[in-house]
Structure 1
Amino acid sequence: MPLRIRDAGRIRRLMIRSANWIGDAVMTTPAICDIRRHFPKARITLLAKPWVSPLFEGSAHVDEIMIYDTIGRHRGISGFMNLIADIRKYRFEAAILFQNAFEAAVIPFLARIPQRIGYPTDGRGLLLTHRVPIPLDFNAMHQVAYYKGILEGIGIKTESKELHVQVKKSDSLRAEDLLRRCGADPQERIVGINFGAAYGPAKQWPIERFAGLADRIHDHFGCRIVLFGAPRDRAAGEDLKKRMKSPAINIAGKTELGEAIALIRRCDLFITNDSGLMHIASALKVPLVAIFGSTNPWVTGPWNCKGKLVRYPISCSPCLEPICPEGHLKCMTRIEVETVYDAVKELL
């Protein structure tokens, strides 16, 4: 018997606590769509960290985004109490927590939100009013289904099967302007390469192989290569560009997330490690080739999209470790350029 939200039909003020990682936040979007459908009259506020908030700008499924700014207004203990005070002003009637951390439950508890819904992870069960049982097979189920399970645990029917990411017109205009300034023709086919991954080197295919792959794509298909990455990837992007024989546009660390989203939508193909940008490409229905090493593609792989998954079957993968515990990284180094290129040929 699922738990039930008290007076669900009368709820008018609802808070959602977003996941903190870009990829995880994208994978919550089907569940957020279902929340909107179930609470059509509620004003839905999303509490999110600044780096994921652009994913939800312009969304039809949330009415407002509240930034949890741990660098500015909400920094330190006094800043945390500012956040609690800010939330109390809204007089929320319920909070649905997609973030699993203990702190995510402390916030609505201290903010006196009467109904607090989530998985009892990280020892936070006593802070929740609705403790949704953690699925027995959570280590084997896709994260999209994992987040939907919170809603199903309180009796909400989950119907949405699509990821949702909006592209703002202003970001599209900036993206097109950036491509023009870098010499790309508006009609030119573009292949995006996302060579980084936040979790660690065990998720990253060797950079010299990305270079070899990019050259083959340019030589055979004549596509413009655009290199994507976070600010920490800027130097690696320049290294990758230098290793290539063909020209490339390196935007790694040079755009805001909104512009990167618009640039991904502009791609005819997106080649990527397991990363947040992979999930954005999946949400935008951009054909993609996803390269997996230490992580589990059945749990965090591309969702419901046109794409190819490339991995090398080895007994120690997925280990879910950021650094190869065996010291050989064979799950990545045994993936040859030719293997990924074969996947590319099926999509270009």
Structure 2
Amino acid sequence: MSSLNFFLPQYQSALGTVVHATPVVEAIKRTLPQARLIVASNGLPAQVWQGNPHLERLLDTPSPLNDPVGAIRAVRNAKLFGGEPYITLLTTGNERTKITLAALLAGRSQRIGFAVHGALLHQHLRFDPALSQIANNLRLIEAADITSAAAWPTEPRLYPSQQHSFAQQVLGNLHFPRIALATQTSATQRKSWPQQRWVELAHTLRDRHTAELIFIGAAAEAEAIDAIRTQIRFPTTSIAGKTTIQQLAAVLQGCDLGIMLDTGPLHVARGVGLPAVIIAPAWSPVHEWLPVDNPRYRILKNADFPPPVPEDYVIAEVGVAEVLAATEDLLASARPTAAAKDKTPES
């Protein structure tokens, strides 16, 4: 290894790819406590990295995808690591050629990672579809010649402690259990669960557990979420489109459980260790994005077929009874997070 300085450009367009890059910096700092790490980012990816204690600096720059000259200038002006040698690590989701070129032109470094044009890197890694997104990213550390006797961390992590007051505003009057629901995904993903099943699930959770339900999602999903909520005969809460990523993470940290589709907020929930029932589509391999063999999660996938996805596909093969059984299993064994956190001043 030629340096203890590491630079990570983070300009991913998908929330999950940003969240799944966070184990890289934790693994480096665990192995090399003296290492210095800088992330350059903006917009949504930067929100994921806010408050991360493993970073020396979170550098706010224009995105190379929109303003490559501005991004290069910002990194050059930052004088990374005081001019010392450094290694640039390009995680999955940053394969775009403009990002690779910006990393090349922003300063002299050893460039390792994923790219469309591998010749622009000193070490080019090809994505291995047999591995998860996280496992693919952790290959960067081995490529940088960092070795450890301990296992690398395999869970992503967010640090929303500065947003505790926002979470209190949302959750303060809600009793336990508090269950977060991520009912929507991108229309292009075809990962939906029938609307009426969400309604039936909500009523049963209320009847059996007097559960408080908090709907989460993006602003573009708020209308579809409200279409479900209007059919529910008790009050629910929606924060769809009303939070930053850090605020969402803080709210999820104060919940007891999530019931979620395979979508961006699920990865945020995973980043704060929230147990969850995951309703998974038949066409997506579970190992790539989901927490396989983790006792905090129940992954419900009752069919399996490769893409292309049928135009009319919904996850009809997963029933309400199965989701309820998995929910009750997790509620019985879940950590007493929310009640305990509300009593601690540092949370």
Contact 1:56/1:165, CA 8 A, preserved across alignment: no
Please state if 1:281 is matched with 2:269.
yes
Please state if 1:339 is matched with 2:327.
no
- Aligned partner of 1:117: which letter? I
Please state if 1:153 is matched with 2:146.
no
The counterpart of 1:299, out of the listed 280, 283, 288, is 288
Q: Structure 1: where are the runs of 5+ without partners?
A: none
Contact 1:97/1:117, CA 8 A, preserved across alignment: yes
Contact 2:193/2:316, CA 8 A, preserved across alignment: yes
Contact 2:61/2:74, CA 8 A, preserved across alignment: no
The counterpart of 1:177, out of the listed 169, 174, 179, is 169
Deviations 1:185-204 (A, max 9, x none): 3x432011011223734122
- Aligned partner of 1:340: which letter? V
Change (3 A) 1:75 1:26: closer
- Aligned partner of 2:262: which letter? D
Q: TM-score, normalized by length of structure 2? A: 0.84
Structure 2 distance, partners of 1:241, 1:43, is 47
Question: Which SS does the other structure have where 2:190 is aligned?
Answer: helix
Please state if 1:244 is matched with 2:214.
no
Deviates more, 1:156-165 or 1:275-284: 156-165
Change (3 A) 1:33 1:342: same
The residue number in structure 2 matching 1:235 is: 223
Change (3 A) 1:16 1:201: closer
Q: % of aligned pairs identical? A: 21
The residue number in structure 2 matching 1:196 is: 184
Deviations 1:204-255 (A, max 9, x none): 2222211211111111110101101111111111111012223211111112
The aligned runs of 1:129-168 (5 Å cut-off) are 129-132=122-125, 134=126, 138-157=128-147, 159-168=151-160
Question: Which SS does the other structure have where 1:333 is aligned?
Answer: coil
Change (3 A) 1:172 1:256: same
1:300 CA drift (Å): 0.8
Contact 1:55/1:165, CA 8 A, preserved across alignment: no
The residue number in structure 1 matching 2:24 is: 31
Change (3 A) 1:36 1:230: same
Structure 1 distance, partners of 2:318, 2:76, is 52
Contact 2:28/2:35, CA 8 A, preserved across alignment: no
The residue number in structure 1 matching 2:259 is: 271
Deviations 1:86-136 (A, max 9, x none): 1112344321111222222111111132311113x32x112112223x26x
Q: TM-score, normalized by length of structure 1? A: 0.84
Question: Which SS does the other structure have where 1:203 is aligned?
Answer: coil
| CA RMSD after TM alignment | 2.2
Change (3 A) 1:218 1:211: same
Structure 2 distance, partners of 1:46, 1:295, is 30
Please state if 1:109 is matched with 2:109.
no
Contact 2:160/2:246, CA 8 A, preserved across alignment: yes
1:270 CA drift (Å): 0.2
Change (3 A) 1:253 1:35: same
The residue number in structure 2 matching 1:259 is: 247
Structure 1 distance, partners of 2:147, 2:279, is 33
Contact 2:257/2:276, CA 8 A, preserved across alignment: yes
1:157 CA drift (Å): 2.4
1:140 CA drift (Å): 2.0
1:42 CA drift (Å): 4.1
Q: Structure 2: where are the runs of 5+ without partners?
A: 81-85, 332-347
- Aligned partner of 1:338: which letter? A
1:271 CA drift (Å): 0.5
The count of aligned residue pairs is: 319
Question: Which SS does the other structure have where 1:16 is aligned?
Answer: strand
Contact 1:192/1:226, CA 8 A, preserved across alignment: yes
1:39 CA drift (Å): 4.8
Change (3 A) 1:100 1:239: same
- Aligned partner of 2:107: which letter? R
Deviates more, 1:187-196 or 1:38-47: 38-47
- Aligned partner of 1:210: which letter? W
Please state if 1:221 is matched with 2:209.
yes
- Aligned partner of 2:75: which letter? I
- Aligned partner of 2:319: which letter? E
- Aligned partner of 1:309: which letter? I
- Aligned partner of 1:62: which letter? L
